[in-house]
Amino acid sequence: MTQTGCDTGFLTLWDAQNPAVLKVVEEARNGLRLLCFPTPTLAEFLRHQFRQGRSLQSAQRFVRLLSNLPSVSVIPVDIQVALQAAKFAHSFPLPMIDALIFAACLEAGCQEFWTADRTHFGKLIGAVRKVKIILLCEGALGTNAPPCSV
């Protein structure tokens, strides 16, 4: 089973019914993937939902949808993740929220990391070899764009 770390953009594209993301979710439903969501990913996604005028009930429905998938793991942030995140934020430089998300996925042993954030995570391709970074194409939000080839 492929352990797949997911950034906030993955959730946003899932909510927008992006075909590439829906395929990954279907693979998780079929037991081929474990989708890993660091707690900062969930918090950032919910914040975006509220900014878009979504209700608390709408956000809670999406969280329930995640909870009902058999192949989902929520990754907490602990001191080891915080230390790794601080190193990433300093070295690359990354915004702290992105560094926390990425470090949590690495610490959890994810083999892949799916994101729509080319600006921040694109610079990690080739620099971090522990995980395959899969960028969803810019402009993929709400379109049929496949993942970018990396």
Q: Per-residue pLDDT tens for 82-131?
A: 999 999 999 998 999 999 999 999 999 999 999 999 998 988 888 888 89
Q: Report CA torsion sign: 11, 15, 21, 22.
A: positive
Whole-angstrom CA distances from 31 to 94, 108, 134 are 32, 18, 20
Say yes or no: domain 2-135 is CATH 3.10.20.30. no
pLDDT in tens, 55-67: 888 888 888 888 8
**Which residue is it, tokens 């009902």?**
68
Q: Find, among 78, 49, 52, the residue nearest to 66 by Cα.
A: 49
Neighbours of 32 (CB within 10 A): 13
pTM: 0.87
CB atoms < 10 A from the CB of 27, how many?
Answer: 17
Domain boundaries, the chain: 2-135
